[in-house]
Structure 1
């Protein structure tokens, strides 16, 4: 340990970092950083899993970081799959910015983060090509319409699919953001009131809704399933729980829940017994091998809009995603699907 460094425990260092980034990061990004850094601090202080117990961040060096990368790649925690190249890149990126902030308080040497190399992701591997297709989404929505009509679960899945928004955007909506006269929703960046949008003011937009979708929202607001609650800032959240505005992890779990086939009364594609399947338990639903996380649901929504003929620039504005990122990460159409989309735009005389 260098005499020039000030001691701090791993968990205290994580708390410091998260406190400094709380109002800088979108909710989803903040939660992913918290999740990754909690894992790192847990590993540092675990005598069995870690590289020997480390109680002071001053003692972390490049060999420590390398050992952690090996652990995440080869073993990982019992409730997590080993990291592939893409997920490892995210882990290491977060560690780099973490160490950069720790250098400000002399917990690690200045410039230490620059010596940590990111894993190189081969072209194409950073694209998740697994999406929820429109047919499956409609099966889920039909079930919700029949059995969960105008509940928070129904409205959340419906808006997430129909507007292609992010979970942070869905969470940010207030009752006053719904305009029943125009059949529209307003997404607004309110960082000082706990609901920032990912791209800040650039994420602000108004999104139109089909009349039948707007009717579900109206029935939800006027019906018995919306909890009459306000948040800490006196605002009325559109999506509610009994405790108030849901956190993004709650919304994420709702997406996991309704993309499990067994929740719709269907047989498990993996042949599991629902009564014995651990992936049905709260906190373990993401371990279901056929479940969809929010990203492939959003990607499926965007792809469905493009397949329906919605121009790329419209989908870009509606879903708050640049056309370049949309093309690479979200629009998962096949080459033949893209050909069919272009066909109607080719003049007959050319």
Structure 2
């Protein structure tokens, strides 16, 4: 235990955190946090952890394993988000070591496990891209949103792109599995492929490289497309960009009648994912796949382009409504 920490029991810490949170979050968020953290304090009690100062990364790994046996991976990911927030707050009041929240590792969620109803709709995607085109042209945010929507690629694939992977003559990007240098692809070598971006969006990428890209290399000497001052962009930074750009108030008025001055999802200390109407990178992927299908792109082509099997595509990504599917079939059946 560090001499810099102040003793606090898990129950005392959770009660203080919830009291701190209650005025600033929606009622549903508060009660979800309360339920998750009560489960955490119960686990601490069962394992004779009576001082938050003593919590370690190993303890947190054991808690994650304990919860994994009881809930689905997607639920566990949401639960662990609340645990991370609690530990971050606890570090600020010197109840746990700094950075302990970063040792809470969630399991990988199965491909497509979110509800098929959760997707970025085409009209919203177009408004976001129109806004970025007008006010933040060729910014890193513009490139992130344009590539994700246009290609439907996974976050990990986007993060993996190097400058050498761009093919200007073909307006395309090559995705390569490079686990040895920290950019693996979901399906390993089977995920490697050329992805057509098109001249319009490729020009956005080209302008970003010329004007706004931070010139740097990553820890392995590679030249990433998407960079920060520290090197290759992290998955968390991409995710936060998506959450922020997909907030309705990014391009229009808030549909939840929230005050921007007090909303937890906007501002300098914001957590964009807390906006009820924002969307994740996975929701963009689902929206892009559904959009391709609605444009009559054959499912086999979509499968190859988006690196998803037909079975998984139909089960988890095809969010077309029954009447939309019927209308598409009708186009092919006219004259019969």
TM-score where L is the length of structure 1: 0.67
Distance 2:265 2:246 in 1: 12
Is 1:249 the counterpart of 2:243 in the alignment?
A: no
CA distance in 2, matches of 1:279, 1:153: 17
Question: Contact 2:116–2:318 (CA<8 Å) still a contact in 1?
Answer: no
The correspondence for 2:327, drawn from 335, 340, 350, is: 340
Q: Does 1:287 align with 2:281?
A: no
8 Å CA contact 1:44–1:50 kept in 2: the answer is no
Aligned to 2:44: 50
Deviation at 1:79, TM superposition (A): 3.7
> Map of 1:87-236 to 2, 5 A cutoff?
94=107, 127-223=115-211, 225-236=212-223
Residue 96 of structure 2 is matched in structure 1 by none
Q: Are 2:252 and 1:258 aligned?
A: no
Q: 1:136 to 1:239 in 2, by over 3 A?
A: same
Structure 2 residues not aligned, in runs of 5+: 1-32, 50-57, 84-105
Q: Are the equivalent residues in 2 in contact too, given 1:189–1:196 (CA < 8 A)?
A: yes
Specify whether residues 142 and 76 from structure 1 end up closer, same or farther in structure 2 by C-alpha distance, changes over 3 A only.
Answer: closer
User: Aligned to 1:137, what secondary structure does the other structure show?
Assistant: helix
Are the counterparts in 2 of residues 44 and 53 from structure 1 also a CA contact under 8 Å?
no
Q: By how many angstroms is 1:226 displaced?
A: 0.3
Secondary structure in 2 aligned to 1:181? helix
Whole-Å Cα distance in 2 between the matches of residues 78 and 324 of structure 1? 30
Q: Which ranges of structure 1 fall in alignment gaps of 5 or more residues?
A: 1-38, 81-92, 96-124
Structure having the larger proportion of residues in helix: 2
Normalising by structure 2, what TM-score?
Answer: 0.69
What's the offset of the Cα at 1:343? 2.3
- The residue that corresponds to 1:268 in the other structure is 254
**Cα pair 1:46 1:52 within 8 Å, conserved:** no
Q: SS of the residue aligned with 2:201? A: helix
Which residue in the other structure is 1:309 paired with?
296
For residues 190-210 of structure 1, what are the alpha-carbon distances to aligned partners after superposition, in whole Å with 9 as ceiling and x for unaligned?
011110000000000101122
Mapped to 2, the partners of 1:211 and 1:341 lie a distance apart of 28
Distance 1:242 1:53 in 2: 42
Off by >4 Å, runs of 4+ in structure 1: 42-49, 54-57, 64-69, 75-78
> Would you say the 8 A contact 1:50–1:68 is kept in 2?
no
**Structure 1 residue 49, shift from structure 2 partner:** 6.6
Would you say the 8 A contact 1:257–1:263 is kept in 2?
A: yes
Q: What is the aligned-residue RMSD (CA, Å)?
A: 3.3
SS class of match (2:332): coil
